[in-house]
Structure 1
Amino acid sequence: MIGLLSTTFGVSVASALLPLISVELFAIGLVLKEPEIPWWVLALVIATGQIGGKLLHYYAARGAIRLPRFLRREKSGKSSPGRWRAWLESFRENCRNRPVWAGSVLLISAVASLPPFAAVAVIAGWAKVPVSTFLITGFIGRFARFGVLAAAPAAMATWL
């Protein structure tokens, strides 16, 4: 079981870094193949890996991790910000002035992935949301998301 959980951790970190990898599909397959793994253990391992991976996105957006040149955006000479930049600035101000709102957005995104948690992790880093807020709300949301996912097959089998 330790080997499966360490593989699960690795897949969850990889899926946090590369959105093409689906930890949800992996988790469902694992629960169906190995139903003796407690749902909460699986949710704990996946949530920890997901937050670990998203933390890299968060710190990169915050500027604490220097990205390779090919991943960095060159500063343009534009004098007027576009709509996207204005929206991001508005989001940053909302995060500063309304920390409960920022935590709520993070929590909802971590649970439902709407808006996508990968994007919210980057924007939260850029908006300088406190790392404690990011970690706590992100972990709770991811634990809830994957807890429901891991418990669903057993719940459906019991219910049917």
Structure 2
Amino acid sequence: MLGWLCVTLGVAFSSALIPVVSVEVFVLGLAAAQPTLHWFALGLVVAVGQLAGKSIFYLAARGSIKLPKKLHDKLHARLHRERPPSARRERWHARTEWLRTKLDALRDRCHRHPHWMTGTYGVSSIVGLPPFMATTVLAGLVRMPLSTFLAAGLAGRMIRFSALAAAPAVFSGWLHF
């Protein structure tokens, strides 16, 4: 039992870092295959693993984690290389400028209404809409307090994954549309 919980922690952590890994499918499969695992323990382990992984994105967006110098230099060298102008690059620059403006407006709104961001992040941690990865990064950008980030995220993720682990037969039917 402890072995499965350790594997689950690793899968949850990796799915937080690499979004193509589906911890939901893993939880459904594990809960169906190992009925002796308690649904609450499974939900708690997945929530802790998810928050541990997402905290890296949160701290990076907040500016608390810096890229290693080698990666930072490569990124900036690629961004600041002289390139001949192209229409495609100009369109892309215009699109990203629009996005940057929208993100700045959203960040200002989150600063003015911090409870709105906490509510959005909490709902996202349970439902997944807006995407949990996006709200994690946004929480870091607007400098949501770490305690609020961890409390809301852990509670929401526990609800989500405990429900999945408690009723794998109900939720597994959704996967066969």
Check if 1:139 corresponds to 2:150: no
Q: Distance in 2 between matches of 1:101 and 1:25?
A: 30
Asked whether 1:106 is paired with 2:101, we answer: no
- The answer on 1:153 being equivalent to 2:171 is no
Max Rg structure:
2
Partner of 1:22: 22
Determine the C-alpha separation between the residues in 1 that align with 2:23 and 2:79. Answer: 33
CA-CA distance at 1:9 after TM superposition: 0.3
Q: Which residue of 1 aligns with 2:109?
A: 94
Deviation at 1:85, TM superposition (A): 1.3
Runs of 4+ more than 3 Å apart: 70-75
The CA deviation string for residues 119-147 of structure 1, in whole angstroms up to 9 with x for no partner, is 11112111211111111111111111101
Please give the alpha-carbon distance, in whole angstroms, between the structure 2 residues aligned to 1:123 and 1:99.
12
Query: What is the distance in 2 between the residues matched to 1:127 and 1:31?
Result: 37
Alignment of 1:36-51 (within 5 A): 36-51=36-51
Q: After TM superposition, give the deviation of residue 83 of structure 1 in Å.
A: 2.2
Q: CA deviation at 1:84?
A: 1.2
Offset, 1:21: 0.6
Specify the SS of the correspondent of 2:167: helix
Percent identical pairs in the alignment equals 43
* Post-superposition offset of 1:26: 0.6
After superposition, the CA RMSD in angstroms is: 2.2
Length-normalised TM-score, structure 2:
0.79
Identify the residue that residue 123 of structure 1 maps to in structure 2: 138
Query: Partners in 2 of 1:32 and 1:19 — Cα distance?
Result: 23
Q: 1 CA distance for matches of 2:151 and 2:31?
A: 26
* Structure 2 unmatched ranges of 5 or more: 81-92, 172-177
5+ residue gaps, structure 1, are none
User: How far 1:74 moved relative to its partner?
Assistant: 4.5
Instruction: Quote the offset at 1:154 in angstroms.
Output: 6.4
- Give the Cα–Cα distance (whole angstroms) in 2 for the partners of residues 63 and 155 of structure 1: 41
- The reply on whether 1:8 has 2:23 as its aligned counterpart is no
Aligned equivalent of 1:55: 55
Q: Is the 8 A contact 1:95 1:129 kept in 2?
A: no
- Partners of 1:71 and 1:106 in 2: how far apart? 30
What TM-score does the superposition give when structure 1 sets the normalisation length?
Answer: 0.87
